[in-house]
Structure 1
Amino acid sequence: MMLLGLLHPEVAHADERTEARRLFRDGMTLVQAGDVAGIASLEEAYRILPHPHVIYNIARAYAEFGLYRESIRAFEQYLEWDPSDAVEVEEFIASMRELLGQQERAAEVATTAPQPAVEGETTDPTAGPAPAPERVSELGGQARAEGVYEEQVVSASRFVESSVAAPSSTTVITAQDIRLSGLQTLADVLRRAVGVEVMALSPGDQQVSIRGLNQRQSNKVLVFIDGRSVYIDSLGSTFWNVLPIGLDDIERIEIIRGAASAVYGADAFSGLINIITRTPGEGGSHVSVAAGSHGTARAEVVAHGRQSIASFRVAGGYGRADQFELEANPARVDQVVPSEDPEMARRSIWFRGDGRLNLGRGYALEMGSGVSLNRLSQYGIGRLRQLFIDEFVFAQTYLTLTTPVGITARVFWNMETADAQLAVEPPAAVPLVTRDLATHIADADVNYRARFHLGVDHNAAVGVSYRFKSIVWNWLDDSHTQNHFAAYLTDTMQLARRLQGVLNFRVDRHPLLRRPQYSPRIALLFQPTERSSLRGTFGLAFRSPTFLESYVELPVSVPGLRGVSALSLGSERLDPERMLTTEIGYRNQDSDYFALEVTAYMNLVDDAIVSSEVSAFTLGDYGSGHASYSDSVAAFSVGQVRNQNEAARFRQLGAELGVRFFPVRGLDVYANYSLHDTRAVGGVAAVGRENDQRTSRHKLNLGVQYRAPFGLDLSADFHWVSSQLWVMTIPDVETGASFGQFPLRAYALLNALLDGRLQLGVVGTNLVDPHHREHPLGQRVDRRVLGTLSLGF
């Protein structure tokens, strides 16, 4: 549970976007009817949620009513958004200033030569301003209302579109949702989304999956920051606590539920999460801190600025937290705890700087860099338990060029370095130590987007990409580099007035795979109304083997035996994991008082990459040199475990229901429910895997937000998941390893918020179900209390 109070001074509304949309529509209706009072509604909408089209309409309305000074001020605010029509607007401002000058000169003449009043004529002091001359009103162009305050996404098709018209199941978590949750980590924020599974093994290790397939080091969800991947290629997973961003500077999080390989390639196997930060120069500057029990602390500083054609953001932060519980008591004599500070679960220091240059005529250049220095407690895969990753450095640097002709070019570089060791080492265990791990990723992408008519209207994008990977890691057989190439196409076709067809196609070339990988997806959307749709989607997806799965060569201890080890081996002959997916969905946002989404899906998953059972070495293996004594670990290899493709096919069936209500001003109520089932339906599964149900069949989220007009905000979020059954590799004295079943009970979380006009707060976490586990080998999650402070400047 969470209790957060007294954080933000301004009065807002339970759902900013919905409230602003109501005010915007009311204001536009009044303005179009010739009522100047409509401007006040537009200004209130802009205050709640700034949008360039809204301030443009405010400026244009002022001009139409002859309020030129107010119009100039509003248009100057509009220019701060770096719009593509800046030249036209500046000419419009110049015309209004010329007109004001003419009016002032005419007024001076009238003052010096007053005319006698006509008998019976009176002056009405309440008369409104004179309407704008025709030439001025025409300069402002047409009023802009399309898409204003509608829920839009960029991740489903690589360009902006309404979530109602997107070819995928989408969820948007807004900045307000993040702020009112009071949560301190990205992974915890994602729990509220339908179809998303989150498990915390420790405060430093949180794993996120979409529609099942969760595991330690979850590797089937692609994660972006502003469209740039941040997953760790060596594992294919995301380390959420090392990302160099602050929660308070996130504009929204877009979640694509379901396969997205047809748009983004191999790693968007079961879904995509795109964390979109505020545009440099457009966000507010602030300082926020939180500190409390169990060594938990967070601090964040963000500053935005603008100077002429340049805008920037500079941000930095610090975070730490102690373990929920220790893997072993440091005082034990039968275990070795090599870490100097085993109680620390995570510590992070991060910094980022971003800039944007508006080069004029529609050209813009964006650049930036972020870096974090971290210490993490992570849980390994297979038979590995808790690891401490020290001196973990993550960095990303990027450059993006946008043009007015539809071409966008982007390049970025990711780097990770780390040292790692086991949290606990039994006596005479094979040491598992990583020193000087280093990975480098260079990614380049060029795409072209155009709208055209060829039989029907098309909104299309085509592009090519290249990704270079390199790694040095003593857990692998050698150092390696890889070159990946891809090309993609997306085309949204308006087949009829209410019918759209969407075609996505991508081809990827992986250096270890025997043939190119093709990822098609087709979708049909029927829109009974402008803000509702019925959608059917069919597609294929794949996940390519990671560096670890392909190249690992790591001796692992055999429990109870000294001087022997089992060898964990990768394979360069692995096939990619494959998925055939189909889903139907209905979304309705017709009303300003409720939103509804219903989705049903079926996936067929083939060639899952798993570890084999231990294969014991024979005397012949020792004679041939295939097996031998290792001086580096002082042990004989007695067998091997090799990564392989599982022969079984797994079928996933699921349904998702999400509703959100806005019954009165200031009140927002939401609920969502997920149903999911995974079963082996063909082939032979690894021993015991046919019973694996590591994703809860049932997941429920309920929440309410209320923003009172006198400045008090209330929020509560309830999260519940049903029981699970995990099948995992475990050590075995006789065979080296075997599979065991681990049940996990259902658990619940309750988060609540109390927020007032002051900037102080109190946060409590996990108050209703302390000491539950979210993974059979994970730590028992404890209760924590924090104090918070936030200051804007």
Structure 2
Amino acid sequence: MPLIRTLLSLTLTLGALPAMAAPTPADTQPGGDDVFDMSLEQLMDVVVTSVSKRSQPLSATAAAVHVISADDIRRSGATNVPEALRLAPGVNVARFSNNRWSVSIRGFGGRYANKLLVLQDGRSLYSQAYSGVFWEFNDIPLEIVERIEIVRGPGASIWGANAVNGVINIITRNARSAQGSQLAATAGTELHGSLFASHGLALSDDAHLELHAKSQYVEPSTTLEDGPARDFWRTRQAGFRLDAKAGGDSLRLQGAVRDSAAGDHFLQRTPLIDAPAHSYTSVGENAYLLGRWEHLSGEGITHSVQAYVEKSRLDILAGSERRSTFDIEYQQQRKFGAGVDLVWGGSWQHTRDELRGRAPYVTIENTRDRAEQFSLFAQGEFALVPERWTLTLGSRVDLKDDAKLAFQPNARILFTPDPAHSLWASIARAARTATRAEQAPVATLPARSTGLPGPVSHVVPVVYGNPDFGTEYVRALDLGWRANWSRTLGTEIAAYHYRYRDLRNARVNGDYILAPFGAPGFPYVIQPLLLDTSERTRVTGIEFSADWRALPAWQLAASFSLHRMSHSSMPRSSEFSEGTPERIFSLRSAYDLAPNVQWDVWLRHSSATSTYSFSPTRRIDPHWGLDMRLG
């Protein structure tokens, strides 16, 4: 790909009026202030909630945590959430086309990267049918994002199954900080057009409402042969958020409706067949309503209840899904004396779905299903030696219908020899539960076994679900060191070693099948693949990041990650343990030319990797990216 990607854009923001009331703790996050005006000590005091489901300073977390602020996003020039996630060290973002991304942490990338839990304000965006996240159908306007918290490493003891390699929590802004009107319009050579509008109003001194809407269209790119591609992307959405307070109670109510369309070509080539591309358009529709109530009692105990209802429709090449979800969680936070903080709670989730395959790719029996999941979690933080040694012990238990009980413990130790340095270690066990598609039995196709025939129109690898498909597990060791060498220089080093077992794999299951599809004389040929949990893998890596205030108006941020994956049961990676670059480098420069003029430069590099389609494997060469912004 070219060294420099040209993007011509014009963004106009009108009348973003600040709230007149005093800021709340949520308003003091780096979404409201320019983080380049904050000292490194202030950055270490940024409050995060994604590590332990309670507010705590970043410097007091025994985990590799990175916070992307709203100002970071604005100065990066990112136009969507996946692009913004490149700002975090140790996060690999691969763009397949103008409408499809893979986001992974510490390995296991690919189209359906399934070792990462992605949340929006605590609501899971993880697909329960196909695993992973469809980023093209979860386009969250960057204008409403207050910050993004990224936890690298298992977070299952708090967040549950699928938080295997990390947690990404996209936190939207409080309605109190979004008062007034805002209009943002963007036009470019790739992002053809985008229009965002929001309006916030004060219902009373303690109640605020924000309304927003967005529409955008991304142009298709070109193929490797410089022909026209079909990867257009269109999204339309509208949403609201209401925040209110009364005494020790706070209430949040938010919701959105969204529909998206993404075009693409499906191409399956084999060493023997150069099959034509199949054009299709994927469609996603989603609507949700979320409410959260928090109460601080006179004894200092915090009670919270969060519930949401969601309805979605997904139509992709392999099939379609309609799903209804209801999720409710209770959480309590309390202190025991001066040295013990306890967070515990439980949740219940009920889902109904209708999953249909599309021949010849997938044909599924038992298209309708309902599922229940019950969870209990608890985590305690113990000050062994005040301001020196802190021990954190926690665990979560998930029970999904008749599935095996998933027990996910975690232990963390934090040593703070002085206010400028902290070291931590963590051991954890995390699980990824089977999805609906992985366990759904596949109907028998009216076909006959055969060797590969002569002329065919299409070779289709069909993955057969396995009712006996189980749960994937990882045992994880994390180490870290965070240091502030001066008021202008800070560094962080994180190392990890993970062992995975019972990983998903697709094995050839029988001969080619001649299917009754395709043009006369040129039938479809199906290569059956059966899912099982036979793979074992080890992953080892190290991540380094540094922030340096070279001048009061100039900041440099650098990160480097080194990652190695070894397979004990297979000679190489498979489609379901997709290759991840072994080396990722990022260097950002943010310079204030004048009080109201900014110049930002962002240089990125990824080493070579491979994409493992079922056949053949394709190498992706090392590549560089360079972005510049003058604002």
Query: Is residue 410 of structure 2 the alignment partner of residue 528 of structure 1?
Result: no
Which structure features the higher share of helix residues? 1
Query: Kindly tell me: are residues 444 and 216 of structure 1, through their superposed partners in 2, closer, same or farther at Cα, counting changes over 3 Å?
Result: same
Q: Secondary structure at the match of 1:608?
A: strand
CA deviations over 1:124-163 (Å, ceiling 9, x no partner):
xxxxxxxxxxxxxxxxxxxxxx989822210010011111
Q: Secondary structure at the match of 1:234?
A: coil
Corresponding residue of 2:198: 302
- Counterparts of 1:326-405 in structure 2 under 5 Å? 326=223, 343=230, 345-358=232-245, 360-377=246-263, 388-405=280-297
The answer to which of 589-598 and 636-645 deviates more is 636-645
2:216 to 307, 319, 331: 319
Query: Is residue 388 of structure 2 the alignment partner of residue 491 of structure 1?
Result: no
Q: Secondary structure at the match of 2:470?
A: coil
User: By how many angstroms is 1:414 displaced?
Assistant: 2.3
User: By how many angstroms is 1:496 displaced?
Assistant: 0.2
Query: Kindly tell me: are residues 539 and 202 of structure 1, through their superposed partners in 2, closer, same or farther at Cα, counting changes over 3 Å?
Result: same
Query: Is residue 185 of structure 2 the alignment partner of residue 289 of structure 1?
Result: yes
Corresponding residue of 1:457: 339
2:401 to 478, 499, 511: 511
CA deviations over 1:91-147 (Å, ceiling 9, x no partner):
xxxxxxxxxxxxxxxxxxxxxxxxxxxxxxxxxxxxxxxxxxxxxxxxxxxxxxx98
Query: Kindly tell me: are residues 379 and 252 of structure 1, through their superposed partners in 2, closer, same or farther at Cα, counting changes over 3 Å?
Result: farther
CA deviations over 1:536-557 (Å, ceiling 9, x no partner):
1111111111112111637799
Q: Secondary structure at the match of 1:468?
A: strand
Q: Secondary structure at the match of 1:292?
A: coil
Q: Secondary structure at the match of 2:296?
A: coil
Corresponding residue of 1:197: 92
Query: Is residue 443 of structure 2 the alignment partner of residue 546 of structure 1?
Result: no
CA deviations over 1:582-629 (Å, ceiling 9, x no partner):
011011246431221011110111111121113238xxxxxxxxx998
Letter aligned with residue 318 of structure 1: S
User: By how many angstroms is 1:458 displaced?
Assistant: 0.9
Query: Is residue 508 of structure 2 the alignment partner of residue 616 of structure 1?
Result: no
Aligned pairs, how many?
Answer: 583
The answer to which of 322-331 and 591-600 deviates more is 322-331
Corresponding residue of 2:361: none
User: By how many angstroms is 1:726 displaced?
Assistant: 3.6
Report which structure shows greater RCO (CA 8 Å, sep ≥6). Answer: 1
Preserved contact between residue 667 and residue 704 of structure 1 (Cα < 8 Å) = yes
- Counterparts of 1:132-143 in structure 2 under 5 Å? none
Letter aligned with residue 266 of structure 1: A
Corresponding residue of 2:324: 440
Corresponding residue of 2:463: 568
- Counterparts of 1:649-728 in structure 2 under 5 Å? 649-680=536-567, 682=568, 684-685=569-570, 689=574, 694-728=579-613
The CA distance in 2 between the partners of 1:372 and 1:613, in whole Å, is 38
The CA distance in 2 between the partners of 1:492 and 1:281, in whole Å, is 32
Corresponding residue of 1:500: 390
User: By how many angstroms is 1:318 displaced?
Assistant: 0.8
Q: Secondary structure at the match of 1:315?
A: strand
User: By how many angstroms is 1:326 displaced?
Assistant: 5.0
CA deviations over 1:300-346 (Å, ceiling 9, x no partner):
11222212132111011011112222599999xxxxxxxxxx73521
Preserved contact between residue 339 and residue 382 of structure 2 (Cα < 8 Å) = yes
The CA distance in 2 between the partners of 1:690 and 1:5, in whole Å, is 36
The CA distance in 2 between the partners of 1:698 and 1:708, in whole Å, is 32
The CA distance in 1 between the partners of 2:278 and 2:231, in whole Å, is 13
CA deviations over 1:66-107 (Å, ceiling 9, x no partner):
xxxxxxxxxx832x6499xxxxxxxxxxxxxxxxxxxxxxxx
The CA distance in 2 between the partners of 1:269 and 1:610, in whole Å, is 17
Preserved contact between residue 283 and residue 315 of structure 2 (Cα < 8 Å) = yes
Query: Is residue 50 of structure 2 the alignment partner of residue 155 of structure 1?
Result: yes
Preserved contact between residue 674 and residue 699 of structure 1 (Cα < 8 Å) = yes
Corresponding residue of 1:127: none
Query: Is residue 307 of structure 2 the alignment partner of residue 411 of structure 1?
Result: yes
Letter aligned with residue 494 of structure 2: T
User: By how many angstroms is 1:664 displaced?
Assistant: 2.4
Preserved contact between residue 170 and residue 254 of structure 1 (Cα < 8 Å) = yes
Corresponding residue of 1:91: none
Query: Kindly tell me: are residues 480 and 526 of structure 1, through their superposed partners in 2, closer, same or farther at Cα, counting changes over 3 Å?
Result: same
So what's the TM-score if we normalise by structure 2? Answer: 0.84
User: By how many angstroms is 1:231 displaced?
Assistant: 2.2
Structure 1: runs of 5+ lacking an equivalent: 11-46, 52-75, 84-145, 332-341, 422-431, 618-626, 731-739, 756-793
So what's the TM-score if we normalise by structure 1? Answer: 0.68
Corresponding residue of 2:111: 216
CA deviations over 1:401-442 (Å, ceiling 9, x no partner):
111131100111222213334xxxxxxxxxx6x46x311221
User: By how many angstroms is 1:470 displaced?
Assistant: 2.1
The CA distance in 1 between the partners of 2:515 and 2:9, in whole Å, is 62
Corresponding residue of 2:31: none
User: By how many angstroms is 1:208 displaced?
Assistant: 0.4
Preserved contact between residue 348 and residue 375 of structure 1 (Cα < 8 Å) = yes
Letter aligned with residue 235 of structure 1: Y
The CA distance in 1 between the partners of 2:524 and 2:10, in whole Å, is 62
Letter aligned with residue 84 of structure 2: V
Query: Kindly tell me: are residues 378 and 255 of structure 1, through their superposed partners in 2, closer, same or farther at Cα, counting changes over 3 Å?
Result: farther
Q: Secondary structure at the match of 1:612?
A: strand
Q: Secondary structure at the match of 1:296?
A: strand
Query: Is residue 21 of structure 2 the alignment partner of residue 77 of structure 1?
Result: yes
Q: Secondary structure at the match of 1:188?
A: helix
The answer to which of 402-411 and 587-596 deviates more is 587-596
Structure 2: runs of 5+ lacking an equivalent: 27-40, 270-274, 358-363
User: By how many angstroms is 1:235 displaced?
Assistant: 1.5
1:645 to 510, 533, 537: 533
Query: Kindly tell me: are residues 311 and 563 of structure 1, through their superposed partners in 2, closer, same or farther at Cα, counting changes over 3 Å?
Result: closer
User: By how many angstroms is 1:565 displaced?
Assistant: 7.1
User: By how many angstroms is 1:378 displaced?
Assistant: 5.9
User: By how many angstroms is 1:396 displaced?
Assistant: 1.8
Q: Secondary structure at the match of 1:586?
A: strand
User: By how many angstroms is 1:640 displaced?
Assistant: 3.1
The CA distance in 1 between the partners of 2:458 and 2:630, in whole Å, is 58
The CA distance in 1 between the partners of 2:163 and 2:217, in whole Å, is 30
User: By how many angstroms is 1:708 displaced?
Assistant: 3.0
Q: Secondary structure at the match of 1:214?
A: coil
User: By how many angstroms is 1:471 displaced?
Assistant: 1.7
The CA distance in 1 between the partners of 2:261 and 2:446, in whole Å, is 24
Corresponding residue of 1:56: none
Alignment RMSD (CA, Å): 3.5
The CA distance in 2 between the partners of 1:496 and 1:5, in whole Å, is 54
Corresponding residue of 1:184: 79
Query: Is residue 369 of structure 2 the alignment partner of residue 472 of structure 1?
Result: no
Letter aligned with residue 468 of structure 1: H
The CA distance in 1 between the partners of 2:561 and 2:156, in whole Å, is 23
- Counterparts of 1:55-66 in structure 2 under 5 Å? none
User: By how many angstroms is 1:271 displaced?
Assistant: 0.8
Letter aligned with residue 257 of structure 1: R
CA deviations over 1:357-401 (Å, ceiling 9, x no partner):
22x221122112111111013688998987744442022211111
- Counterparts of 1:595-634 in structure 2 under 5 Å? 595-616=490-511
Letter aligned with residue 299 of structure 1: L
